[in-house]
């Protein structure tokens, strides 16, 4: 892949390591102005220096943000939009798998707060900047391992916490939020997509069992996974390829649009949206 992104400003969350860092590296190679949105300042600074050295692109910066925190996201958005320069691409990549039930600083179950509310709040708060940058693009890192969303108990308060099920429902929610955002932004020339990077051997997956990785890859396959660089190929394509601008509300696997079984339930999508608005205070 090689695209000209010299006039594009891109934000990538979770960019200090793994897929996020590789997506940011690719966008920097293409000449984009890239903002690394990272929770850990030290790791983010190291990733920044590595990407600048590798790409020769000095228009790469790093801003700290904890995407599980409403206050941290709002501070990040104020900082990244302070100069009035629009954003053209937002890649929501930051995600966790929490082996035990934990809560964020806002008292929300951590997997839901990070993987779902983080995507939701970041995108909604950056929408004015994305609209100014139109044609613009939003990319949600999702998964084929998605399902089990229980709107009456998204935080596993009344049911037994299960790390795999918490992750799985979060990835369903990410796809559903993308479809609602795509409809909201259809007239604004802001396209919204979700993509499956594959089962990638990153720190996220190394916190889990081999059984988890096998499920992500599919029954009968060897649980070894892609490299982070390989996993970054589809999200990079969706973020940068000119032909993707012809589409919105697409679920991408290996650079090809696929059908999404969660796209048609408009009532549940609307109900999920209401839950996210209530928990973040954000609305498009």
Tell whether the model's pLDDT for residue 23 goes beyond 80. yes
Tens digit of each residue's pLDDT (9 = 90 or more) over 136-183 = 999 999 999 999 999 999 999 999 999 999 999 999 999 999 999 999
Q: What is the pLDDT of residue 218?
A: 46
Q: Is the dihedral of CA 258, 126, 71, 25 positive or negative?
A: positive
CB within 8 A of 124, min separation 6: which ones? 280, 282, 283, 284
Q: What does the pLDDT average to over 100-119?
A: 98
Could you write out the DSSP letters of every residue in 198-253? -SB-SHHHHTS-HHHHHHHH-TTS-TT-B-HHHHTHHHHHHHH-GGGGG--SEEEE
Tens digit of each residue's pLDDT (9 = 90 or more) over 43-72 = 999 999 999 999 999 999 999 999 999 999
Tens digit of each residue's pLDDT (9 = 90 or more) over 233-261 = 999 999 999 999 999 999 999 999 999 99
Q: What is the pLDDT of residue 212?
A: 53
CA atoms within 13 A on the CB side of 103: 7
Identify the band that residue 204 occupies on the pLDDT scale cut at 50, 70 and 90: low
DSSP state, 115?
I
Q: What percent of the chain has pLDDT over 70?
A: 92
Identify the band that residue 224 occupies on the pLDDT scale cut at 50, 70 and 90: low
User: Residue 270 has which token pair?
Assistant: 């609307």
Look at 232 and 212; give whichever has higher pLDDT: 232
Tell whether the model's pLDDT for residue 276 goes beyond 90. yes
Q: What is the pLDDT of residue 223?
A: 47
Could you write out the DSSP letters of every residue in 65-91? --TT-HHHHHHHHHHHTTT-----EEE
Tens digit of each residue's pLDDT (9 = 90 or more) over 211-220 = 554 455 443 4
Which of the residues are catalytic?
Answer: 167
What average pLDDT does the chain have? 93
Q: How far is the CA of 4 from the CAs of 65, 115, 213, in angstroms?
A: 28, 30, 35
Identify the band that residue 206 occupies on the pLDDT scale cut at 50, 70 and 90: very low
Give the chain's domains with CATH numbers.
9-280 (3.40.50.720)
Per the omega criterion (within 30 degrees of 0), is the bond before 190 cis?
Answer: no
């Amino acid at each position: 892949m090689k695209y000209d992104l010299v006039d594009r400003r891109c934000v990538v969350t979770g960019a200090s390591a793994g897929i996020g860092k590789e997506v940011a590296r690719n966008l920097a190679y293409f000449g984009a102005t890239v903002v690394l949105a990272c929770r850990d300042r030290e790791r983010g600074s190291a990733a920044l220096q590595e990407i600048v050295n590798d790409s020769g692109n000095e228009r790469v910066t790093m801003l700290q943000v904890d995407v599980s925190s409403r206050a941290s996201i709002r501070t990040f958005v104020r900082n990244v939009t302070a100069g009035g320069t629009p954003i053209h691409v937002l890649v929501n990549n930051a995600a966790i798998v929490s082996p035990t039930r934990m809560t964020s600083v806002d008292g929300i179950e951590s997997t839901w707060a990070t993987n779902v509310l983080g995507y939701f709040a970041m995108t909604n708060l950056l929408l004015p900047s994305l609209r100014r940058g139109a044609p613009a693009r939003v990319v949600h890192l999702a998964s084929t391992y998605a399902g089990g969303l229980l709107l009456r108990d998204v935080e596993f308060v009344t049911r037994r916490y299960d790390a795999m099920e918490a992750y799985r429902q979060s990835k369903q929610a990410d796809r559903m939020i993308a479809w609602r955002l795509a409809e909201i932004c259809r007239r604004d020339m802001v396209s919204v997509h979700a993509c499956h990077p594959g089962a990638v051997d990153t720190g996220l997956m190394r916190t889990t069992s081999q059984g988890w990785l096998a499920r992500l890859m599919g029954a009968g396959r060897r649980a070894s996974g892609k490299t982070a660089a390989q996993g970054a190929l589809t999200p990079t394509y969706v973020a940068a390829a000119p032909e993707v601008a012809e589409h919105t509300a697409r679920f991408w696997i290996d650079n090809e649009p696929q059908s999404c079984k969660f796209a048609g339930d408009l009532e549940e999508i609307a109900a999920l949206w209401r839950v996210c608005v209530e928990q973040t205070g954000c609305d498009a």
